[in-house]
């Protein structure tokens, strides 16, 4: 019988990731809360409501679960609308709340990674025009300064903006997120503002905390032309350049490479101490003349893909290797800041987890500087426009009763974190269907 193990480098960070609006509950002063009240915006008319009730204190029991499961890191976000409920008015109680959570993490041996913007905006900011108004840059810098000054003795890792590419696409180009715009030009303008806001935030963080590690978090999706038709190749390349590359490259050399037009943002050059990589799946891309608003591209999963229960995600672990190669081209350490799958029954998650981690291990094993992995997510939480229809948690949550239930993947992940690696025994017990893939004998 094969007995083998893939061990990760010493000091590897093992964690889970969450975001404020998705777990805290009762976030009444942001644009998502208002959006949820509008009919037709969220699947099944769902609302975040109490979410996972972290604001009510349940973060303690959930972080106990994380710590007991061997996790030594956690990525969370702070809620701008709580910290600055009105322009220029800072809420000391909210900052104290985050201080308490971060201190609670440290007591549990959990290294915090703090995201400053994870999709939600204070209502007042949305009313000012949100990310389409260049004023967001100085607003975000001021928010960064206040937050970092208040929390810097408790946190070293900062993510300025989570998935700016997803935000620009979903909020401004596809009507899925508030403000529900569908205007590609405006989305590109928003990307420029995100780059400027990241740069201002990055410099402010380092001014306040010279030893900080600050970066941005990009959702990377490998884009494969569906056929040898040159038009498929052209649109796949265009999608990848805008969705994957545009922001991350600007943070290296301060250059904007829009599909039409170029620009310079010199203050953004060299503003990544690390890159945060969110990887879920890859897309096939074909040319579609009926989709001018999506630059003539149709994105889909290839036939026969190993799909999640609702087909939102496909298990494509080779895409993780591709994502890491992409991230490594920026020449800075890499953290996998999100990776996971929606799977209420936990049928596919165990194999998704070990197969993706195997790819992370392969990269680390040949010296690629991958320094940590944060599974999305610790607990089921409010999944944006998909409401409660998608369950990403290692732990199931019933939002009505707030009861938690451990999924087998939580036990598997705990074994991995404690071992600092994946063993043949784990794969045999939790994901036997992929044993011969990981341990070809
Ligand atoms: O829940 C989201 C998260 O907020 C951002 N990245 C993708 C996750 C799953 O959809």
Structural domains in the chain, CATH included, are: 12-419 (3.20.20.80)
State the Cα–Cα distance between residues 328 and 347, nearest whole angstrom: 32
Residue 118: the pLDDT is: 99
Of 179, 377, 394, 171, nearest in space to 278 by CA: 377
pLDDT of residue 260: 79
> Which ligand 1 atom sits nearest the alpha carbon of residue 384?
1
The pair of three-digit structure tokens given for residue 76, joined into one six-digit string? 């969370």
Q: Are 195 and 272 in contact (CB under 8 A)?
A: no
Degrees, nearest 5: CA angle 430-431-432: 110
CA of 383 to the centre of ligand 1 (A): 7
CB atoms within 10 A of CB 417: 23
Under 8 Å between Cβ of 215 and 336: no
Q: Could you tell me the distance, in angstroms and rounded to a whole number, from the CA of residue 436 to the centre of ligand 1?
A: 31
Closest of 40, 258, 30 to residue 130, by C-alpha? 30
* pLDDT per residue of the chain (441 residues) written in tens, 0 to 9: 889 999 999 999 999 999 999 999 999 999 999 999 999 999 999 999 999 999 999 999 999 999 999 999 999 999 999 999 999 999 999 999 999 999 999 999 999 999 999 999 999 999 999 999 999 999 999 999 999 999 999 999 999 999 999 999 999 999 999 999 999 999 999 999 999 999 999 999 999 999 999 999 999 999 999 999 999 999 999 999 999 999 999 999 999 998 878 899 999 999 999 999 999 999 999 999 999 989 999 999 999 999 998 999 999 999 999 999 999 999 999 999 999 999 999 999 999 999 999 999 999 999 999 999 999 999 999 999 999 999 999 999 999 999 999 999 999 999 999 999 999 999 999 999 999 999 997
Q: Which of 183, 171, 188 is nearest to 41 (CA)?
A: 171
The answer to whether 30 touches 78, Cβ cutoff 8 Å, is no
The pLDDT score that the predictor gives to residue 207 is: 98
Write out the H or E segment, with its range, that includes residue 9. none
- Assess contact for 112 and 157: CB atoms under 8 A: yes
Residues with CB under 6 A from ligand 1: 19, 22, 163, 278, 338, 376, 383, 392
Q: How far is the CA of 3 from the centre of ligand 1 (A)?
A: 35
On whether the CB atoms of residues 181 and 175 are closer than 8 A, the answer is yes
Of how many residues is the chain composed? 441
Nearest to 166 by CA among 233, 235, 247: 247
- Nearest by Cα to 270 from 203, 334, 207, 210: 203
Ligand 1 centroid to Cα of residue 439, in Å, is 31
Q: With contact defined as beta carbons under 8 Å apart, do 280 and 313 qualify? A: yes
For residue 112, give the DSSP letter.
E
Q: Which residue among 384, 387, 392 has the greatest number of ligand 1 atoms within 8 angstroms of its CB, and so is best to mutate? A: 384
Q: Is 352 exposed, middle or buried (0-12, 13-18, 19+ CB in 10 A)?
A: buried
Q: What would the DSSP string read from start to end of 387-427?
A: TTS----SEEE-TTT--EEE-HHHHHHHHHHHHTEEEHHHH
pLDDT of residue 30: 98
Q: Are 212 and 230 in contact (CB under 8 A)?
A: no
The reported pLDDT for the residue numbered 38 is 98
What is the position in ligand 1's atom list of the atom closest to the CA of 162?
5
Residues 6+ positions from 242 with CB-CB distance below 8 Å: 165, 188, 259, 295
The H or E element that residue 51 is part of is none
User: Which residues are marked as active site?
Assistant: 338
Q: Which atom of ligand 1 is nearest to the CA of 386?
A: 10
Pocket test for ligand 1, best of 376, 382, 397 (most atoms within 8 A of CB): 376
Q: Which of 186, 160, 158, 156 is nearest to 173 (CA)?
A: 186
Best probe residue, ligand 1, of 310, 314, 338 (max atoms within 8 Å of C-beta): 338
> What does the pLDDT read at residue 136?
99
């Amino acid at each position: 019988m094969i007995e083998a193990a893939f061990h990760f480098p010493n000091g590897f960070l093992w964690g889970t990731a969450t975001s404020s609006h998705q777990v805290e509950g009762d976030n009444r002063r942001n644009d998502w809360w208002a959006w949820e009240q509008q009919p037709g915006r969220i699947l099944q008319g769902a609302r975040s409501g109490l979410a996972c009730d972290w604001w009510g204190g349940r973060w303690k029991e959930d972080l106990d679960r994380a710590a007991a499961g061997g996790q030594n890191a956690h990525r969370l976000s702070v809620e701008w609308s709580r910290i600055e409920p009105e322009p220029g008015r800072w809420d000391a109680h909210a900052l104290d709340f985050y201080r308490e959570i971060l201190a609670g993490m440290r007591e549990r041996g959990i290294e915090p990674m703090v995201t400053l913007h994870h999709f939600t905006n204070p209502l007042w900011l949305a009313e000012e025009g949100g990310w389409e108004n260049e004023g967001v840059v100085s607003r975000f810098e001021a928010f960064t300064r206040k937050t970092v000054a208040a929390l810097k003795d408790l946190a070293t890792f900062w993510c300025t903006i989570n998935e700016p590419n997803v935000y620009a696409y979903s909020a401004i180009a596809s009507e899925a997120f508030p403000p529900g715009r569908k205007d590609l030009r405006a989305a590109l303008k928003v990307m420029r503002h995100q780059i400027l806001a990241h740069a201002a935030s990055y410099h402010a963080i380092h001014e306040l905390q010279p030893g900080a590690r600050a970066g941005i978090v990009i959702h990377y999706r490998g884009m494969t032309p569906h056929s040898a038709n040159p038009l498929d190749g052209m649109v796949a390349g265009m999608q990848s350049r805008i969705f994957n590359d545009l922001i991350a490259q600007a943070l290296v050399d301060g250059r904007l490479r829009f599909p039409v037009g170029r620009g310079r943002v010199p203050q953004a050059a060299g503003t990544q101490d690390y890159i945060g990589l969110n990887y879920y799946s890859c897309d096939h891309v074909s040319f579609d003349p009926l989709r001018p608003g999506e630059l003539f591209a149709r994105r889909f999963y290839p036939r026969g893909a190993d799909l999640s229960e609702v087909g939102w995600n496909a298990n494509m672990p080779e895409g993780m290797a591709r994502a890491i190669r992409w991230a490594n081209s920026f020449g800075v350490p890499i953290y996998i800041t999100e990776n996971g799958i929606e799977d209420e029954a936990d049928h596919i998650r165990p194999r998704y987890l070990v197969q993706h981690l195997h790819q992370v291990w392969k990269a680390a094993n040949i010296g690629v500087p991958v320094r940590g992995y944060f599974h999305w997510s610790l607990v089921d939480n409010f999944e944006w426009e998909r409401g409660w229809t998608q369950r990403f948690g290692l732990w199931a949550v019933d939002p009505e009763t707030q009861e938690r239930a451990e999924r087998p993947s939580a036990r598997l992940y705990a074994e991995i974190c404690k071992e600092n690696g994946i063993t043949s025994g784990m794969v045999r017990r939790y994901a036997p269907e992929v044993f011969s893939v990981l341990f070809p004998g």
